[in-house]
Copies of this chain bind each other. A is one copy, B any other.
Amino acid sequence: MTTRLLIVGFGNVGRGLARLLISRSQWLKTAEQLDCRVISITDLRYGTIVQPEGISLEPVLQHIEQGTPFSTQPQPTENLIRQLDYDVLIELTPTRLETGEPAHSYIRMALERGRHVITTNKGPVAHHLLELERLAREKGVHFRYEGTVLAGTPLINLIRNHLAGATIHKIEGIVNGTCNYILTRMAAGMDYTAALKDAQEKGYAEADPTADVEAWDAVAKVMILAQVAFGQKLPLHSISRQGISGLTVADIQQALREGHHWRLIATLQQQDGILEASVAPQKIPQDHPFASVTGATNAIAIYTDCLSRITITGPGAGPVETGFAVLNDLIHIHRKITRTPNGNHNPR
């Protein structure tokens, strides 16, 4: 079955996805009976391509590696979403944490038209997940967003599907790789400014690191998890927030001598029906699963009545890591539509 994709936003994640679609093309066809055809790509920086018969992705990637824009001017994204003939909108525009716009509007437009949507964009999911899921249900389509938290590490699916039947009462996590990288460098003796500079040079931190180090990014992920795990929408400013910029090397090394590790911890906890959420640096003991989570790795611990604590650890960012989340969401939508039995083995 041919699945036609419209890709909106073609930064690192879009390109990571494109590389996976190229390398897995044959496997997807034979193992999953999934024939993906990208019918349009649009990006503010590179322009717009529309080819209903399918875009050849290799030349597009080469174009971008050479820094040259696509041949055509960007067209208004709304028009593409409203007018083109596609099955799945892949929404990968830059995140705006404050409002989730314009991505939220793009996603709504596609769902309203009865198209499936996959996004890795935290903003619209943090602010509007429950509403977007309701709309998708009404329209009989799928809305998936595995890549919004912990990249392709399958946290969202794990909570959604494989904890059904257990009651979650607490979630805590290391959800920002940039902060964890900086704290790891500081534990090795580097001061905050040098560790931040190192993170920027390695591509983990932006030129303006505020969203990461002041924990806005972690707060957006908490807002997503509150909806996924507890079915509750928390307003941005109801979440207590403290970043890592106040920590010193002395704090961190003193804790180490006492067998503790400073980590930026996001917490969601339900007690007596009230859901409390916070992000703040915390000292973690040596035998906690987060003690060995270093560098840009992320981790989430989920506390339930049936399974005490389960922890999942994995990459929290990266073009292929996040592109994979989109690919896996795509495979799942396809399995659901075609009722393919689950359980295909490795692509080879």
Contacts and interface: CB of A to CB of B under 8 A. Distances in A.
A236 interface: no
Given A286-B292, A292-B292, A312 B312 contact: yes
Interface string A276-311: 000000000011110111100000000000111111
Nearest to A133: B343
A69 to B, nearest CB: 28
A162 interface: yes
Interface string A318-329: 001101100110
Given A289-B289, A314-B309, A314-B310, A158 B158 contact: yes
A163 B289 contact: no
Contacts of A341: 137
Contacts of A146: 162
Number of identical monomers bound together in the oligomeric complex:
2
A1 interface: no
Contacts of A48: none
A32 B165 CA distance: 10
A345 B291 CA distance: 30
Given A161-B161, A286-B292, A324-B306, A313 B311 contact: yes
Contacts of A32: 164
Contact of A165 (B137, B158, B292, B328): B328
A88 interface: no
Nearest to A312: B312
Given A20-B306, A289-B289, A309-B314, A331 B164 contact: yes
Given A161-B161, A289-B289, A328-B165, A346 B229 contact: yes
13 contacts: A20-B165, A20-B306, A133-B343, A152-B166, A154-B310, A164-B328, A166-B328, A168-B346, A230-B346, A289-B293, A291-B292, A308-B321, A312-B313
